[in-house]
Amino acid sequence: MSSPQKGLTDRALNCLYVNAGKILPRHLRAARQAEAAAENKRMIKEMTYLADHLFNLRQEIAHLQSMNTHYANKAEHSPLDESALELRTVRLRQIKKELADMLVRPNDAKVWWERFPKSRIA
């Protein structure tokens, strides 16, 4: 054989793929493509979850703001009103912390979301 690839048959040489100066077997290239496709699907699923979660938080914030506006428009407040205001204030702080924590993304997204309770309307 006069090829620089000693010990390779013609069939094996036909299975080689040249990409950016690298010679890769076709099955290795296909495996890498499948791995990349699986990673893309996983990221799309996480991004969909993230978008839904942010949408739900935005709805909850709007509801809490509406309830706070209603509270502010009242002349007198019962102890129950004041207690509800405190609960809304605590929840808004939790949401603010959750949004700040989203900026620091851990390696595993499951860990990211398991730290926080499910969104709820106050």
Output phi, psi for 16, to 5 deg.
Answer: -85, 145
- What percent of the chain lies above the pLDDT cut of 90? 36
For the stretch 21-51, pLDDT in tens is: 555 566 677 778 888 888 878 877 777 888 8
Domain map (residue ranges) of the chain: 43-114
For the stretch 91-100, pLDDT in tens is: 999 999 998 8
- Token couple for 93: 């702080």
Query: pTM score, two decimals?
Result: 0.54
Residues 15, 1, 18: CA angle, nearest 5 degrees: 30
Q: What is the mean pLDDT of the chain?
A: 77
Count of CB atoms within 10 A of residue 71's CB? 14
pLDDT at 74 over 90: yes
